[in-house]
Chains A and B, each alone.
Chain A
Amino acid sequence: MSARAAGDAARGGEVLVGAHGLAGGYGGGGPLAIEGLDFELRGGTRVGLLGPNGGGKTTLFRALLGELPVVRGDLQVATRCAVVPQTERSRLDFPVSALDVALMGTLARLPWWRRPTRDDRRAAAGALERVGLGDEARRTFGELSGGQRQRVLIARALVQDAGLLLLDEPFTGLDEPSSRRLEALLADLAGDGRGLLISTHEVDQARAWDLVLCLNRRQVAFGAPDRVLTRPVLERTYGAHVVELPGGGRGVMPAHHHDHEHA
């Protein structure tokens, strides 16, 4: 079954997240960080999350993780969410192996006094196999390539047994082969029936996915890529920074593409 067919078959998958008129902020009567969110995420779909830096992408992740107070509206999360952060945010000099990082996925389900069992280690090793890194389990995390590190963090999310993966610009800084490999892995995970919410700056990449959510403090649009990814929507999402790229692709130049400071 092709990745596309898998996505289609699962499009009617169970609802993982439902947001209805959702607004959230960091409390204290301060300004809302995100508002007007109305969308549904289902299992087996890849959903592109587009928006400028500071537009609320990371904030939405925090809301889904239950770390952001809901001010208005309603947010239902019916599955375990796991975040796949950008790897530069982790300490690359930290003395951990790929297996150690994958094992971190067992923390939440173990009581605090228990250490990972042999079964947990087997599950972590299995997750690394799944993302194609079975042979790299013993390597130091910081020595792996950017694409490999990203896949280790995906393996960690699999160990967490997450039904919904929140990927924070996973393609940033990857070369072409690594990108293709990651793309294939994401299609594969959607084939499992998992939901994937993927924040990205690459509009053309998002066209290949099932749905797109455009966010600029408030929800600008949500729906199938060919319907949503129009020039007016992109302009409202990014301000007036949309440029035509040679070859007919529509590119986006966010104001601070390389600025990755999140809280």
Chain B
Amino acid sequence: MGWLLDPFRDPIVQRAALEVVLLGVTGGLLGCWIVFYELAYGTESLAHALLPGLVAAALIGVPILIGGAAGLLVAALAVARAGRAPGIGRDNAVAVVVTTLLGAGVLLALSRATPPGLGELLFGDILGVSDGDLWLAAGLAVVVVVALRLGHGRLLAVGFDRSAARSLGAAPALVDAVLLVLVAAAILVAVQGLGNLLVVAVLVGPGATARLLARRMPAMMAVAVTVAVVGGLGGLLLSYHAGTAAGASIALVTVALWVAALTTRALGRQLPSGAS
């Protein structure tokens, strides 16, 4: 059992573990709705496209959080505008915007004036989380839990049948807006620890895995949080023992859990009297 527990005697790993658990709660719960509102691509796009904001913040010397928020706003506006451009299709427009912004961010980051640390912005520094990061992640987790609990019925009604939701007393535009704000806040907070490229793993991976395994939203959320936390802690262990980058290891374990769920389900379906 030493291999399992020893790494967590290290205070640095303890802090990282707390951060991944907090982000896991947020990412697992939100991920279920991201999957069912088909926001996975949008989430990934926003997470990638806010890079110029992060780099600019590092250049000017303002907090990364503020830079990220500005980057997110620019990205959201650009995506919204490009989506309306005639003739190229929404997905293509979004892809162009995201690639442009990600490229611009990398260019900025490679300029001489930028303090070293592009890797940190892209892949995060989960082992270097500050007290502020931890408080932020904890605050976000509380907000997400409360908001999703209060909004559960309306999120369900709008996701189930958008056209009839209004007659049931749920305003689709408001529900969408609340969900998007939560997703944006989660990206912003998670990007500190997991980096611009890997944040998607914790926001989308667990929800996608849970969808394969659970048949009701509450069960799905429980599975997703478990997957996110196990993926996070497992990633830290892998990183500790194999000497791999922490953020990338977390993403790897999370995706491995998804593949395992996919395989399990495929095998379960092949059994003659599949217990369903």
Closest to A139 in B: B215
Q: Are B153 and A115 in contact (CB under 8 A)?
A: yes
Q: Is the Cβ of A115 less than 8 Å from the Cβ of B152? A: yes
Q: Tell me whether B167 and A81 are in contact (CB under 8 A).
A: yes
Is the C-beta of B214 less than 8 angstroms from some C-beta in chain A? yes
Interface residues of A in 96-110 (CB under 8 A from B): 96-97, 100-101, 103-110
Bound state CA distance, A141 and B156, in angstroms?
13
| Residue pair B163, A263 in contact (C-beta under 8 Å) | yes
Contact A91–B217 (Cβ < 8 Å): no
User: How many Å lie between the Cα of A44 and that of B214 in the bound state?
Assistant: 42
Whether B217 contacts A105 by the Cβ 8 Å rule is: no
Which partner residue on chain A sits nearest B164 by CB separation? A85
Is the pair B156, A104 in contact by a Cβ cutoff of 8 Å? yes
Report which residue of A103, A107, A156, A263 has the largest number of chain B beta carbons within 10 angstroms of its beta carbon: A107
A90 to B168, CA, bound (A): 14
CB-defined contacts of B215 to chain A, threshold 8 Å: 95, 140
Please indicate the chain A residues that have their CB under 8 angstroms from the CB of B112 in the complex. none
Per-residue 0/1 for A211-238: is the Cβ within 8 Å of any B Cβ (1 yes, 0 no)?
Answer: 0000000000000000000000000000
Q: Report if B9 contacts A (CB, 8 A).
A: no
**Is the beta-carbon distance between B216 and A95 smaller than 8 angstroms?**
yes
Q: Give the residue of A94, A105, A115 whose beta carbon is less than 8 angstroms from that of B36.
A: A94
Q: Are B159 and A83 in contact (CB under 8 A)?
A: no
Interface: A89 (CB within 8 A) = yes
> Complex: how many Å from CA A104 to CA B157?
6
Residue numbers in A under 8 Å from B217 (CB-CB)? 95-96, 100
Measured CA separation A65–B167 after assembly (Å): 7
Interface check A12, CB cutoff 8 A: no
Report if A91-B153 is in contact (Cβ < 8 Å); known contacts: A65-B166, A108-B168, A108-B169: no
Interface residues, chain B, CB within 8 Å of chain A?
A: 36, 149-150, 152-154, 156-157, 159-161, 163-164, 166-170, 211, 214-217, 219-220
A–B complex contacts, Cβ < 8 Å, 21 sampled: A65-B167, A82-B167, A83-B164, A89-B161, A90-B160, A90-B164, A91-B161, A94-B36, A95-B215, A95-B216, A95-B217, A96-B156, A96-B160, A97-B216, A103-B153, A106-B153, A108-B169, A115-B149, A116-B153, A140-B215, A262-B163
Residues of A that sit less than 8 Å from B by CB: 65, 67, 81-83, 85, 89-91, 94-97, 100-101, 103-110, 112-113, 115-116, 140-141, 156, 160, 262-263
